[in-house]
Structure 1
Amino acid sequence: MEQADERIGARVRYWRERRKLGRKQFADMVGRSTSWLDKIESGERELARLPMIERVAEVLRIDPTVLTDDHRDQRARQCVDVGEVQAIRRALAAYPGLRTSAPEADFGTVARQASYLDHAWSMSRFTVVARHLPGLMAEAQVAVQTVSEADRVAAYRILVTVYRLASSMLLKFETNDVAWLAADRAMNTAMRIDDTWSLARATRSVARAMTSIHERSQAIATLLAMADRMRPEVNSNAAELLSLHGMLYLAASITAAGQEDADLAREMHEAALASALIYEPHYNDHHTFFGVTNTQIHRVSALVRLHECGQALEFAATISSRAVAALSAERQANYLLDLTEAHAGVGDYRQAVRMLGRAEQIAPEEVRCRPLAHGLLRSLLNNTTGEPGRLVRQMAGRAGVEA
């Protein structure tokens, strides 16, 4: 059986590497030598004194119990934490353009990394995104300054994508003030290149950030202004722009529902559906998964926000489960979270538990780590008994949620 000091040492190494701290750097921060650290991480030396455990945990920006308790360590590893949010914040605070000289970025590597993180996001692998995003942000910022003219638009699109990922990540974990900064950076970057593709993507991020600070009317106005601006280009370049155009209307529909404007939410849904009905599978959807199915599940989400839970469930019953299964894990999980809320809203807690359990199976981090899902878990803990109650308690335990 693995000894306790070996387990603690392995955890110190894991969190040091996750924080991207070198051996000497970390040892200096703790006030010890690298040989001391090597012995701790190998299990040769015991990390037993509470003051030193607390000091190591402070440097690693984790709770001390993460080093000493198996369950807390396992739970902490599966979620984005405060240290990674701070790293994203620090990356947003950098202005590489102020440097008199900057090393050239390998544009091919930057492009591949951006694509990888975009895919990780679609799979709800938020810890993967959070660990690599700050470094990619710095490299993408350099890339726009150093690439050849032939790659200039592509480099700006990558930087917009990186800022959008940062904003979306921060909104998932309700760090709304910094999410607004990241979205604004995306929009300003898109405006510098005056590229419709970039502007459409940045607009969605800005609108979501506006919504998070309760500026819904301005968010809708911004979305519709961009939709109007890009319409002539959509007609001539549907293969690249149609999905992004439709997603602007979907975002407007959800935002209108959030301010309880049912008529506008319906109008925006129908506008998105009109685009979806002429959408073809070979069009480039830029990880939006745009199409009829995504438009339908957004309608369910809008109805939930309008507190029309019964209507939301009736509409959901018309959506093909096979079509939903073809969407990304992130889209599927968020749809299931909406269904969880809808079933709870009509008092069907057994089905609510079932939907939340399916969401956890598809995208564990969506349920175990997000504040939104934690709120659903607390509600279900207070409203379920018997077998559903037992299942909720198990999910809550994995998420570290108490009633």
Structure 2
Amino acid sequence: MAELPGGRRLAYWRNQRGMSQQAFADALGKSKSWVDKVERGTRRLDTLSNLQEIARTLQVDVDVLIDTDTDTETAAAGPTTVPVGPVGGRDLDTLRAALFAYDATLAPPDGAEPAPAEPRRGVGHAWLALQHADYRTLLGTLPRLLRDGHRRRAAHPDDPQPCHLLAQGYQLTSTVLRKLGDPGLAWLAADRAMTVCRDADDDALTLAATGHLTRVLHTLGRHRHTVEVALTVAHRLTPPDPLTAPPTHLTGYGNLLLQAARGAAGRGDPVGVADLLDHADEVATLVGDDRHDHGLSFGPTLVALTRVITALDLDQHTTAVTRHRSALDSTTFHQLPPEPRAAHLLDVTHGCVRLNDLTEAGRALLLADQATPTEVRSRPAARETIRTLLRRCGKPHPGIVRLAEALRIAV
């Protein structure tokens, strides 16, 4: 998408958000004619305030909308005028392009095939990078992992191992795109992971891939589908008595129970949430210590954290805050990898903002930034939450003000 002119790039993101030109114009307080002229390139966006308002409406960073090759006036304003995060829109373009490289998925392998150990090492390093929220490294390596995965799959059609590695590559891609603000393509990547998993013939891997898919569905607000997909796959790929499944299955099965609970909470179903989390507690007891497989975490700590988030989703503010503070005091929470720890704190931040508990939201946000700065500073949703806190707090916490200044976020 980097090669698109600025107006067409704006149209792309408007369509990604499901907005008509009229709806977009209404949100901006502009006319439909104004939007049409901007998208056709007959009217320039030559003020920073216009760019910032459009970026806020589309929930993207300003740098996603700027054509740095041609927009010399904006570039000349200097780096301090544009709120650019560590990972910008152009950083995502290579990964997006890799998803649309159908020649890689359909054509026979060309070029040198990577040595068998290289893809395994690459996938292992990518999961480690995800645990540390190292999105810049992931954006640099995932396109190659997908390309190499398709080459090895085509060269060895009867070997499940290349499918296993390619499915993990798509799971990683789905997670990165979801977190960095492109849930539509994250859904595509998750769906491809599910398709490849069939050829990998690995039920544990399919359970993990379903976990990534249901996270995208939840992000898109498809709560009913989140519940249905999670429970359908969980019950189909585990024994009649799921508690007798091997540990790798239990991790995937338990995680799907947590995703189903999130979906039930999104639908306003407290009874369903309670039943699912009670069952997840049983599974977590058998798993023992928290496990982290294929980018998904499950265990007693994760069940406790999901109880916090589902309480927020069900507007049970007092219960949620009490559980949240208890979780922060636990040793096991601080033993989680940096990414799931910070991601949970951001979920708490968003939930508390929605319930207008700005003090608790600000506290969770600063803890997330302290735990894993890249998780906070790379995610568009976190940046928008910072803007919300700055707008709605009469006197924002100095730490939030400093964070906004570091990210060049304008209110």
TM-score norm. by structure 1 comes to 0.76
Percent identity over paired residues: 25
1:197 to 194, 198, 204: 204
Q: Which residue of 2 aligns with 1:128?
A: 137
Letter in 2 for 1:182: A
Q: 1:188 to 1:376 in 2, by over 3 A?
A: same
CA deviations over 1:259-295 (Å, ceiling 9, x no partner) = 2222212222112111101113497744433210111
Letter in 2 for 1:133: L
Check conservation: 2:109, 2:151, Cα contact below 8 A: no
Task: Find out whether 1:399 has 2:407 as its counterpart.
Answer: yes
Check conservation: 1:105, 1:146, Cα contact below 8 A: no
Q: Which residue of 2 aligns with 1:16?
A: none
Task: Find out whether 1:238 has 2:249 as its counterpart.
Answer: no
Give 1:253 deviation, angstroms: 0.8
Letter in 2 for 1:94: A
List runs of 5+ in structure 2 lacking aligned partners: 1-65
Task: Find out whether 1:296 has 2:296 as its counterpart.
Answer: no
Check conservation: 1:190, 1:199, Cα contact below 8 A: yes
Give the Cα separation in 1 of the matches to 2:360 and 2:75. 34
Check conservation: 2:287, 2:299, Cα contact below 8 A: yes
Give the Cα separation in 2 of the matches to 1:138 and 1:178. 17
Give 1:236 deviation, angstroms: 5.8
Q: 1:165 to 1:380 in 2, by over 3 A?
A: same
Give the Cα separation in 2 of the matches to 1:310 and 1:356. 19
Give 1:330 deviation, angstroms: 1.1
Q: Which residue of 2 aligns with 1:159?
A: 166
Task: Find out whether 1:249 has 2:261 as its counterpart.
Answer: no
Give the Cα separation in 1 of the matches to 2:143 and 2:348. 34
Letter in 2 for 1:161: Q
Q: Which residue of 2 aligns with 1:47?
A: none
Q: Which residue of 2 aligns with 1:224?
A: 231
Give the Cα separation in 2 of the matches to 1:316 and 1:98. 48
Q: Which residue of 1 aligns with 2:89?
A: 82
Check conservation: 2:123, 2:168, Cα contact below 8 A: yes
Give the Cα separation in 1 of the matches to 2:356 and 2:68. 43
SS at match of 2:68: helix
Give 1:109 deviation, angstroms: 1.0
List runs of 5+ in structure 1 lacking aligned partners: 1-54
CA deviations over 1:18-67 (Å, ceiling 9, x no partner) = xxxxxxxxxxxxxxxxxxxxxxxxxxxxxxxxxxxxx99328xx988678
Give 1:121 deviation, angstroms: 0.8
Higher relative contact order (CA 8 A, sep 6+): 2
Give 1:148 deviation, angstroms: 8.8
Check conservation: 1:243, 1:285, Cα contact below 8 A: yes
1:354 to 332, 339, 363: 363
Give the Cα separation in 1 of the matches to 2:155 and 2:106. 14
Matches within 5 A, 1:252-331: 252-281=260-289, 285-319=293-327, 320-331=329-340
The alignment yields a C-alpha RMSD, in angstroms, of 2.8
Give the Cα separation in 2 of the matches to 1:97 and 1:370. 29
SS at match of 1:260: coil
SS at match of 2:326: coil
Letter in 1 for 2:377: R
Give the Cα separation in 2 of the matches to 1:217 and 1:114. 32
Q: 1:349 to 1:205 in 2, by over 3 A?
A: closer
Greater Rg by CA: 1
Give the Cα separation in 2 of the matches to 1:340 and 1:228. 33
Q: 1:284 to 1:128 in 2, by over 3 A?
A: closer
1:144 to 144, 147, 153: 153
Give the Cα separation in 1 of the matches to 2:259 and 2:178. 15
Check conservation: 2:130, 2:295, Cα contact below 8 A: no
Check conservation: 1:66, 1:72, Cα contact below 8 A: no
Q: Which residue of 1 aligns with 2:52?
A: none
1:99 to 97, 107, 123: 107
Q: Which residue of 1 aligns with 2:215?
A: 208
Check conservation: 2:164, 2:197, Cα contact below 8 A: yes
Paired positions, count = 342
CA deviations over 1:369-399 (Å, ceiling 9, x no partner) = 312212321222123345x433222111222
Give the Cα separation in 2 of the matches to 1:393 and 1:217. 38
SS at match of 2:297: coil
1:183 to 185, 190, 199: 190
Letter in 1 for 2:297: F
Q: 1:204 to 1:154 in 2, by over 3 A?
A: same
Give the Cα separation in 1 of the matches to 2:67 and 2:92. 19
Give 1:314 deviation, angstroms: 1.4
Give 1:355 deviation, angstroms: 2.0
Check conservation: 1:310, 1:346, Cα contact below 8 A: no
Q: Which residue of 2 aligns with 1:58?
A: 69
SS at match of 2:392: coil
Letter in 1 for 2:280: A
TM-score norm. by structure 2 comes to 0.75
Q: Which residue of 2 aligns with 1:174?
A: 181
